[in-house]
Amino acid sequence: MAITHALAALPQEIAALVSASPHPELLLSVDFSIAAASEVYLELLDAPAQAVVGKDIREVFGGSPGLTGLAASLETVVRLGTKHWMGQGAFLLPGRREGGGELIFDVVNAPVLSPDGSVVWIIHTVRELGQLEAVRETARLANEAALQAAEARLRSVLQTVPDAMIIIDERGRIESLSATAERLFGYTMAEAAGKNIKLFMPEPHRGQHDEYLKRYLTTGEKRIIGIGRIVVGQRKDGTSFPMHLTIGELRSANRHYFTGFIRDLTDQQMTQDRLKELQSEVTHMSRFTALGEMASTLAHEINQPLTAINNYLKGCHRLLERIEGEQVPALRDALSRAADQALRAGQIIRRLREFVSRGDSERRVENLPKLIEDASTLAMVGTRENAITVSFRLDPRAEQVLVDRIQIQQVLVNLIRNAVEILSESPGRRELEIETLLESDGTIQVGVSDSGTGLAPEVRAHLFQPFVTTKQKGMGLGLSICRTIVEAHGGKIWADPRPRGGTIFRFTLRVPEESEEAALGQQ
Ligand code: ADP
């Protein structure tokens, strides 16, 4: 800066000083017209003095991106009477030099004060930072270097974080894996890099993940981002395991990443807690249905003797009518009271049966794939040591069902648990498959099949009846509860041998009709 304070200087002297300055400088009046320009400044602009001197600076730089900032800076100088650093701005050359275009200037404006402290002139100085393209290139290189450094830092973080962590890009391609994630899924970073994250998921997510991502990126609809949840993961060897997944979002410059933090739930204490939590509602239901099942069996079993008692009592009553004696009326009275009590016992049992079978059943339109996912996660927890391969074959047309979610989940959990139990005792490959299929009659068939040893001959005929079991600690109620629930939903349940060995349990569910869906939607 050549001059900051020129208290006594006359206008001509100041103008002469600025014109002769070895720095790029302009002398501006307080209304921003240019009183003088240094040679260097004119060279920078590649404009003759007459194109600049005498003009308003806002006119000289008309249309420049940096003009607003410049005007604001000059106004600040006039208002406050202090030097102001405007910073960088892009300015169009007034002479429109061939191939030139914009120049980046770093601008400082400083006041020349009169003895009473008021601003009389402004000295405007610039430092040339180069042409815009060059500046952008420098910025790009700097950004790239920063990005590379950040990536290097990230890589070192990924090597050391104790969590399993995966970073994917906006198209679901794996960018990085932490060392723990490599161990957990059985893939090395080199194998996984650039592959779609679907690799780590069993069906049905495998087929749906691209859609989830696309929907999120176009609509912003969050299904899982920011919310942790339990899902099933798939290792390289094809085995599945329950895991807790939390997804975060990372936006850098012009790219969009998602980070997934994964906790393996297989062996953790947490699994047990979470399992209890998840199970409590299903178990509650299970006890309730078990009770219902017992009540209805009891009712059935006790009704017969009760009817017999009633008949015998009626017979006795008739016999008594033919007998004379002092004690007879009292005997008759006692008999009819006994008959009343037998009747009452029958009623109590009937009422109990009605009460329990009515239950708290709450039917809603539910998403079947989601329901299956939750049930299988729940049923699969703690099954790692059995190395079971779980696969899903879900019919995309079988999405919505009208069911009591908890009850149908219970059916699935029972069937899957039975399959897991039989598989853990089976030699050879342990495969469990869950499939859905929309039938031509509009019902949905759900199948749970296992590659186990098949049904024991002694249970085959009475499979769905209560108290039929081959297990030492079994109650033999699971399948009969399944039957009760499925039939209460208007469906059927049955078991077939699986062609390649093992058993397939299937049950049917109804698809909600449009009117039901609409009615439920309004609730
Ligand atoms: P529990 O499991 O208490 O025995 P269930 O009603 O669930 O009661 O099962 C009854 C019986 O059916 C079992 O004891 C078992 O013998 C047989 N069973 C059930 N599922 C399967 C299966 N997937 N493979 C072979 N046998 C099965």
Taking 90 as the threshold, does the pLDDT of residue 251 lie above it?
no
Ligand 1 pocket test: which of 479, 494, 496 has the largest number of ligand atoms within 8 Å of its C-beta?
Answer: 479
3 state SS of 229? strand
Position 223 scores a pLDDT of 63
* CA 380–ligand 1 middle distance (angstroms): 17
| CA-nearest residue, atom 14 of ligand 1 | 469
Q: Domain end: 122, 137, 152, which one? A: 137
Tell me the pLDDT tens digit for each residue of 407-452: 888 899 889 989 988 988 888 888 899 999 999 888 999 999 999 9
Rounded-to-integer distance, Cα 188 and Cα 176, Å: 10
Pocket test for ligand 1, best of 418, 460, 472, 482 (most atoms within 8 A of CB): 418
For range 194-215, the mean pLDDT: 78
With a 6 Å cutoff on the Cβ, whether 425 touches ligand 1 is no
Return mean pLDDT, the chain: 81
400 vs 204, residue with greater confidence: 400
Say yes or no: CB of residue 469 within 6 Å of ligand 1: yes
Q: Is a pLDDT exceeding 50 seen at residue 76?
A: yes
Give the pairing of strands 503-510 and 443-450.
antiparallel
Query: 456 CB under 6 A from ligand 1?
Result: yes
Return the exposure string of 413-429: e unless at least 16 CB atoms fall within 10 Å of the residue's CB, then b.
bbbbebbbbbbeebeee
Q: Is residue 69 in contact with ligand 1, taking CB distance under 6 Å?
A: no
* Secondary structure (DSSP) of 467-507: T---STT--S-HHHHHHHHHHHTT--EEEEE-TTSSEEEEE
Q: Which residues contact 441 (CB under 8 A, 6 or more apart)?
A: none
- Share above pLDDT 70 across residues of the chain, in percent, rounded to a whole number: 81
Give me the residues paired with residue 94 across strands: none
- Is residue 45 helix, strand or coil? helix
| d(C-alpha 465, C-alpha 481), whole Å | 9
CATH code (residue 392): 3.30.565.10
Q: 273 C-alpha to center of ligand 1: Å?
A: 26
Output 498 or 281, whichever has higher pLDDT: 498
Quick check: is 311 in a domain?
A: yes
Place of tokens 């998602």: 258
pLDDT (0 to 100) of residue 210: 74
Please say which residue of 331, 358, 385 terminates a domain.
358
Looking at the structure, do residues 301 and 213 belong to the same domain, yes or no? Answer: no
Say if ligand 1 is within 6 A of residue 482 CB.
Answer: no
* 302 shares its domain with 197: no
Supply 485's token pair.
């629930």
Q: How far is the CA of 501 from the centre of ligand 1 (A)?
A: 16
Structure tokens at 125: 């100085």
Mean pLDDT on 229-240: 82
- Does 495 reside within a domain? yes
Does residue 5 sit within a domain? no
Q: Is the CB of 475 under 6 A from ligand 1?
A: yes
Are residues 166 and 112 part of one domain?
A: no
Of ligand 1's listed atoms, the one at least distance from the Cα of 450 is: 23
Whose Cα sits closest to atom 20 in ligand 1? 418
In a domain, 150, yes or no: no
- CATH number of the domain encompassing residue 346: 1.10.287.130
Decide whether any atom of ligand 1 lies within 6 Å of the 357 Cβ.
Answer: no
| Cβ of 455 below 6 Å from ligand 1 | yes
Please work out whether the CB of residue 416 comes within 6 Å of at least one atom of ligand 1: no
Mean pLDDT of 452-481: 84
Domain-located, residue 302: yes
> Average pLDDT of 145-165?
75
Pick from 130-144, 379-393, 443-457 the range whose average pLDDT is largest.
Answer: 443-457
Question: Residue 250's domain spans which residues?
Answer: 161-264
The larger pLDDT score, comparing residue 470 to residue 447, is at: 447
For residues 109-122, give the mean pLDDT: 86
What distance in Å separates the CA atoms of residue 184 and residue 163, rounded to the nearest whole number?
10
What was the pLDDT predicted at 271? 54
What are 313-343's pLDDT values in tens digits? 989 988 888 888 888 889 988 988 888 888 8
Atom of ligand 1 nearest to the CA of 474: 3
- Residue at a domain's end among 358, 391, 412: 358
- Cβ atoms 87, 2 nearer than 8 A: no
The response to whether residue 420 sits with its C-beta less than 6 Å from ligand 1 reads no
Distance 418 CA to ligand 1 centre (A): 6
Is the CB of 479 within 6 Å of ligand 1? yes
Tokens of 132: 């815009």
Q: What is the CATH number of the domain that holds 83?
A: 3.30.450.20
Q: Can you give the pLDDT at residue 242? A: 77
Q: 4 in a domain, yes or no? A: no
The Cα-based distances of 373 to 88, 239, 376, 424 in angstroms read 57, 16, 5, 21
Nearest to 31 by CA among 92, 121, 117: 121
Is the residue at 41 inside a domain? yes
Same domain, 309 and 384: no
Kindly tell me the burial class for residue 98, based on how many C-beta atoms sit within 10 Å of its own C-beta (0-12, 13-18, 19 or more).
Answer: exposed
DSSP secondary structure, 435-458, as one string: EEEE-TTSEEEEEEEE-SS---HH
Task: Measure the CA–CA gap between 378 and 232, rounded to whole angstroms.
Answer: 10
Q: Are residues 245 and 277 in the same domain?
A: no
Tell me: do 285 and 418 sit in the same domain: no
Q: Compute the distance from residue 49 Cα to the ligand 1 centre, in Å.
A: 100
Atom of ligand 1 nearest to the CA of 502: 24
Cβ(460) to ligand 1 under 6 A? no
Ligand 1 centre and the CA of 257: distance in Å?
46
Asked whether the beta carbons of 179 and 157 are under 8 A apart, the reply is no
Identify the residue whose tokens are 């723990």: 180
Which residues does residue 505 pair with via DSSP β-bridges, in sequence order? 448, 495
- 56 in a domain, yes or no? yes
CA 485 – CA 381 distance, rounded (Å): 24
- Quick check: CB of 474 below 6 Å from ligand 1? yes
Residue 392 Cα to ligand 1 midpoint, Å, equals: 22
User: pLDDT tens, 342-356?
Assistant: 888 887 777 766 665
Looking at the fold, whether 291 and 433 belong to one and the same domain comes out as no
Whether residues 375 and 354 fall in one domain: no
Say yes or no: 336 and 251 in one domain: no
Whole-prediction pTM:
0.46
pLDDT band at 87 (very low <50, low <70, confident <90, very high): confident
pLDDT at residue number 114:
81
Is the same domain home to 128 and 256? Answer: no
| Residues 100-113: tens digit of each pLDDT | 577 888 898 988 88
Q: Are 340 and 238 within one domain?
A: no
Same-domain check for residues 381 and 430: yes
- What is the percentage of the chain residues whose pLDDT exceeds 90? 19
Provide the domain count of the chain. Answer: 4
Ligand 1 centroid–CA 387 distance in Å is 20
- 497 Cβ below 6 A of ligand 1: no
